[in-house]
Amino acid sequence: MEDDDLVCLCFRVSQRKLVNYMARERPRVASQLSECLGAGTGCQWCVPFLRRLHAQWERGERPDLPVSPEEYARRRTRYRATGTREPIAGPAGEEYDRPSPAVNDHAPKPVRIPLTQLARGQRAVVDCSELTGLPEGERCLLHAMGLHDQCQVRVCSAGSTCIVQIESTRLGISSEVARRILVTPIEGTDGAP
């Protein structure tokens, strides 16, 4: 991978951002990389790779993943479709991205529920695959307002109009449309207004 290639595709976190984060924050454990723009908190595909980058950094090596971005993305797509991982061998032939017991081949697929089922303050990752039933104009509008696949939302207000926050933008979505937006809840509720 090159520095600007994405390691966490869910949250568009590049290898460069992760390396800079480690140099700046000096994380003691790999899981702290989630504080770098939410890396690893979506579909979890990238978690073993985040561990690999952290281990390389701890050893003083140049963090790098020996896989092309295209291949990496292809394998993630398969992982998301099947829930299983194809191993990617490192330079010495080790299959370093084999999952740990915490992230294993038998792990359940991320739970997806309608956006309308989230409580106020709850955060989630969006899956737009069920929006195909909407007129194209409505889909384009949602996209233009920042609602795209794998973006992260926080519910500001639930009800007949669901108000969600995407980065710094707030968006009102009718319950009819919100029901079609599937989301994977992120643990924890921040309780912010």
Which residues in this chain contact ligand FES in the complex, by CB under 6 A?
8-10, 39-46, 76
User: Which residues are bridge partners to 14 per DSSP?
Assistant: 6
Smallest distance, Å, CB 116 to ligand FES?
24
Q: Under 8 Å CB-to-CB from 46, ≥6 apart: which residues? A: 7, 8, 9, 10, 39, 40, 76
In angstroms, the Cα distances linking 191 to 101, 119, 160 are 31, 10, 20
Cβ nearer to ligand FES, comparing 10 with 142 = 10
Smallest distance, Å, CB 33 to ligand FES?
10
Phi and psi at residue 98, to the nearest 5° = -60, 140
Name the CA radius of gyration of the chain, rounded: 18
Smallest distance, Å, CB 32 to ligand FES?
15
16 burial (CB, 10 Å; 0-12 / 13-18 / 19+) is middle
Cβ nearer to ligand FES, comparing 49 with 57 = 49
The alpha carbon torsion through 170, 174, 175, 181 (nearest 10 deg) reads -60
Smallest distance, Å, CB 86 to ligand FES?
15
Cβ nearer to ligand FES, comparing 147 with 162 = 147
Cβ nearer to ligand FES, comparing 53 with 162 = 53
- What is the distance between the alpha carbons of residues 105 and 96, in angstroms, rounded to a whole number? 14
Cβ nearer to ligand FES, comparing 12 with 120 = 12
Smallest distance, Å, CB 93 to ligand FES?
25
